[in-house]
Amino acid sequence: ETGVTQSPTHLIKTRGQQVTLRCSSQSGHNTVSWYQQALGQGPQFIFQYYREEENGRGNFPPRFSGLQFPNYSSELNVNALELDDSALYLCASQLGVSSGGEKLFFGSGTQLSVL
């Protein structure tokens, strides 16, 4: 186990609703990234948080937003859910931003289904 925990593990929402996913990073890790993994695809980068600030963002619309808290845990919020938002949402943590992807630890993800 990586020490990165995500909740809930599964979630069912209807189109137009809002959802909040949560992530606790591995102890001591101050950087959290979120990825979306559609069925049969590789993970796609959503955004990264470092010391409570958004440090970078992928090609996702503004209705995808996030937060990082002083204890480095993080939330991913998605507003106005669409059917295509159905995916596995992965949280990954690392120590610092300079490691460039090294020692990046993923959680088991939250499976979101939008009906």
Partner 1 sequence: QQQVKQSPQSLIVQKGGISIINCAYENTAFDYFPWYQQFPGKGPALLIAIRPDVSEKKEGRFTISFNKSAKQFSLHIMDSQPGDSATYFCAAIDSNSGYALNFGKGTSLLVTP
Beta partners for 77? Answer: 20, 65
Q: Residue 90 interacts with partner 1 (CB under 8 A)?
A: yes
Q: Residue 60 interacts with partner 1 (CB under 8 A)?
A: no
Q: Residue 97 interacts with partner 1 (CB under 8 A)?
A: yes
Beta partners for 56? Answer: 48
Q: Residue 48 interacts with partner 1 (CB under 8 A)?
A: yes
Cα separation of 68 and 81, whole Å? Answer: 21
Cα separation of 62 and 38, whole Å? Answer: 19
Sites of contact with partner 1 (CB under 8 A): 2, 4, 33, 35, 40-45, 48, 55-56, 58, 90, 92, 97, 99-109
